[in-house]
């Protein structure tokens, strides 16, 4: 999510003076000299400088040198000189720049490549001062903001995002994100903040309820782990309690702007049992589903990967069947009526035509903008969409500036397909992804400015985060990375490697918290629920298990260690990994019971576009894989009994914690992401 280069503002360090040093010296052999064009990496905002230098090449030598791009040869006769070899030139900052870039491109962690909000583990247990705030790269949704007046009223605003981008490579400056950088400088940065799930739907369910998604039946047992249709019957159960419901009961004005992605209706089109306004939000303006490629013409489709199974195979089988029947009839080997031959052909046309009709009507059926329970735009227009959502959020703040409030601002950025208003299009050096990041940052700035203008900034808790890590498999047909980068962390969206669950976390509450602090203890999305309720003076539900913990003692520094001794990481409904932070703080263990099968030589499941959680798509481990994240944040070196004396003791302690956790789960909970709840139901179509 962030790029740690020693300062904020979205610009990396300048690599030093642009003068090119003399070429490497050596003996003169009287051979022809070669003129070469030297280009050293340049810092942002600097003009390219070129300088020709003389390079003497020994007979049979290659003439190559690192960092040198050759121009055409220039023949010149140089008289031989009997001189001593020149002293070796001193290493310049450009040498360090090249070495760091090569190390970055090999995907090895370096001291310069920890991310601000997705940072490598640090040893301090409580909030510590941070001398400089790295640039924060944001994507997706924004988290919870709240204001607390001196009289005790607490107002809350929330937001989240769909991807986390860490950019460790010093060669390319990150997108400009001054507003998110400002938020980080003025608040507390959570460097070990964790998504409750590596996919949108279960992550958001856990965020709103403070409970693992599997407890609410919001974790899938099949390949598809999120909702793809507004006319699906699954969603966040009405029996679940959200922090919006609790705060509304305490007199808060509550609103959601942006993405929901937790279902709409159950049995009838107008029952809206899963709608945001059935879960504590007084107002809703946004998308009931999410942003998908199919929602923007010309951006492709999320269903293209299923063409082989749904279209190609049936069409081929039907055509072969029709051809066989026709040949049998023509050769006189069997009496085949013409109607029998025509039927497979008609079925072929029906299958292919049905698939393309589905793609054509998907957009107006599912990419809709709602206000309350009404569809106000079908299909939704993406023209200046972020500006319209931002105006709606600012209007909410202005309307409720004198009462306690909760605003959940959930951006559609930077879930693909990417989009940006004309004023942001083409402005970033990172293509459409960078444009979307910078537009998101502008929106964050508008919210912060509105709080300042209304005099609410000091009493407002602002929380910024992301749904999950970057989707590393999201690559355009031109090879452009559209899903972001997770920096030094392995994997991405849909996996429980650190790249999939380590997300940005920033909390700003000027009245209560210091500026420029870092908290290196494990924290979770689920912690927002008890934290917000405690600030509002609301009681936690007594009839259910709440897995989150109040963050305020950690943020204030009155508690030095996270209350999360164990955190359980689910891949859909399957327990994938467990994180253990012992009370003595001696290590940060992570145990994997299975891992996804990446494509050979890659950092993801590019052939399937996303990693799956069962069957041939995973490798089970017995004994489990064990990592110590304090020493190996990139999860490259599994520990063994030979390399770690505590190996067996750690696995035994984690096994006991898993058994205790499993006993708290209800196996009879209705599965909201079952196939019957995921499929499109025409009678539920909005």
Q: Which residues are catalytic?
A: 200, 261
Q: DSSP for 241-264? A: --HHHHHHHTT-EEEEEEE--S--
**d(Cα 204, Cα 197) in Å, to the nearest integer?**
8
**d(Cα 244, Cα 233) in Å, to the nearest integer?**
22
**d(Cα 1, Cα 485) in Å, to the nearest integer?**
8
Q: How far is CA 457 from the centre of its chain?
A: 27
What secondary structure, in 3-state letters, does 544-610 show? CCCCCCCCHHHHHCCCCCCCCCEEEEEECCEEEEEEECCCCCCCCEEEEEEEECCCCCCCCCCCCCC
**d(Cα 256, Cα 283) in Å, to the nearest integer?**
6
**523 phi, psi to nearest 5 deg:** -135, 165
**d(Cα 233, Cα 218) in Å, to the nearest integer?**
13
DSSP assigned state of 428: S
**d(Cα 369, Cα 555) in Å, to the nearest integer?**
37
**d(Cα 44, Cα 421) in Å, to the nearest integer?**
24
Contact 614, 573 (CB under 8 A): no
Provide the 10 A C-beta neighbour count for residue 486: 32
Provide the 10 A C-beta neighbour count for residue 65: 12
Pairing mode of beta strands 188-190, 460-465: unpaired
Determine which helix (DSSP H) or strand (DSSP E) holds 158, and give its type and residue range: strand 154-160
**d(Cα 279, Cα 243) in Å, to the nearest integer?**
9
User: Closest Cα partner for 465 from 435, 507, 495, 498?
Assistant: 507
- Cα Rg, the chain, nearest whole Å: 28
b/e 20-50 (16+ beta carbons within 10 angstroms → b): bbebeeeebeeeebbebebebbbbeeeeeee
Q: In this structure, is the dihedral angle defined by the CA atoms of residues 208, 163, 580 and 218, taken in order, positive or negative?
A: positive
Structure tokens belonging to residue 342: 């025509």
Structure tokens belonging to residue 116: 């601000």
């Amino acid at each position: 999510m962030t790029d740690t280069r020693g300062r904020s503002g979205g610009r990396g360090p300048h690599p030093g003076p642009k003068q090119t040093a003399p070429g490497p010296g050596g003996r003169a052999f009287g051979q022809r000299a070669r003129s070469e064009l030297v280009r050293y990496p340049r810092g942002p905002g600097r003009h390219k400088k070129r300088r020709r230098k003389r390079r003497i090449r020994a007979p049979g030598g290659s003439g190559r040198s690192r960092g040198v791009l050759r121009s055409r040869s220039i023949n010149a006769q140089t008289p031989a000189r009997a001189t001593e070899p020149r002293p070796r030139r001193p290493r310049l900052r450009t040498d360090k720049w090249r070495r760091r870039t090569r190390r970055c491109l090999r995907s090895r962690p370096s001291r310069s490549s920890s991310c601000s909000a997705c940072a490598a583990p640090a040893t301090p247990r409580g909030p510590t001062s941070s001398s400089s705030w790295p640039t924060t790269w944001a994507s997706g949704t924004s988290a919870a903001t709240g204001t607390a007046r001196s009289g005790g009223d607490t107002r809350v605003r929330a937001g989240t995002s769909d991807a986390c981008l860490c950019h460790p490579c010093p060669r390319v400056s990150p997108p400009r994100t001054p507003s998110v950088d400002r938020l980080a400088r003025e608040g507390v940065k959570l460097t070990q903040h964790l998504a409750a799930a590596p996919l949108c739907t279960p992550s958001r369910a856990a965020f709103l309820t403070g409970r693992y998604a599997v407890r609410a039946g919001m974790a899938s047992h099949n390949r598809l782990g999120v909702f793809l249709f507004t006319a699906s019957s699954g969603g966040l159960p009405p029996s679940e309690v959200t922090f919006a419901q609790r705060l509304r009961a305490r007199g808060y004005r509550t609103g959601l702007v942006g993405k929901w992605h937790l279902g709409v209706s159950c049995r009838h089109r107008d029952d809206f049992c899963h709608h945001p306004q059935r879960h504590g939000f007084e107002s809703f303006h946004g998308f009931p589903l999410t942003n998908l490629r199919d929602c923007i013409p010309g951006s492709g489709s999320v269903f293209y990967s299923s063409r082989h199974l749904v279209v190609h195979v049936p069409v081929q089988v039907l055509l072969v069947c029709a051809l066989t029947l026709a040949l049998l009839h023509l050769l006189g080997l069997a009496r085949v009526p013409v109607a029998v031959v025509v039927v497979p052909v008609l079925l072929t046309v029906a299958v292919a035509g049905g698939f393309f009709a589905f793609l054509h009507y998907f957009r107006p059926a599912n990419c809709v903008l709602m206000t309350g329970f009404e569809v106000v735009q079908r299909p939704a227009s993406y023209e200046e969409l972020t500006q319209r959502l931002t105006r709606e959020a600012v209007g909410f703040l202005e309307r409720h500036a004198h009462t306690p409030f909760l605003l959940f601002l959930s951006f559609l950025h930077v879930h693909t397909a990417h989009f940006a208003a004309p004023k942001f299009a083409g402005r970033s050096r990172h293509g459409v992804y960078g444009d979307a990041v910078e537009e998101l940052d502008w929106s964050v700035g508008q919210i912060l400015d509105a709080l300042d203008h209304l005099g609410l900034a000091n009493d407002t808790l602002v929380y910024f985060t992301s749904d999950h890590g970057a989707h590393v498999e999201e690559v355009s047909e031109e090879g452009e990375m559209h899903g972001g980068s997770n920096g030094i962390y392995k994997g991405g969206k849909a996996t429980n490697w650190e790249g999939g669950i380590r997300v940005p976390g920033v909390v700003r509450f000027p009245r209560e918290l210091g500026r420029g602090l870092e908290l290196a203890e494990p924290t979770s999305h689920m912690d927002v629920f008890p934290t917000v309720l405690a600030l509002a003076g609301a009681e936690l539900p007594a009839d259910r298990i709440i897995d989150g913990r109040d963050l305020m003692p950690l943020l204030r520094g009155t508690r030095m260690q996270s209350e999360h001794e164990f955190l359980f990481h689910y891949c859909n409904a399957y327990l994938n990994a467990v994180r253990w932070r012992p009370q003595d703080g001696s290590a940060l263990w992570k145990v994997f019971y299975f891992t996804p099968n990446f494509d050979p030589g890659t950092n993801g499941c590019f052939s399937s576009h996303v990693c799956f959680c069962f069957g041939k798509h995973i490798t089970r481990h017995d004994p489990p894989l064990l990592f110590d994240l304090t020493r190996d944040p990139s999860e490259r070196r599994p520990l063994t009994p030979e390399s770690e004396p505590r190996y067996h003791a750690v696995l035994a302690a984690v096994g006991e914690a898993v058994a205790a956790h499993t006993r708290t789960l209800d196996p009879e909970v209705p599965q909201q992401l079952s196939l019957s709840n995921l499929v499109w139901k025409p009678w539920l179509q909005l």
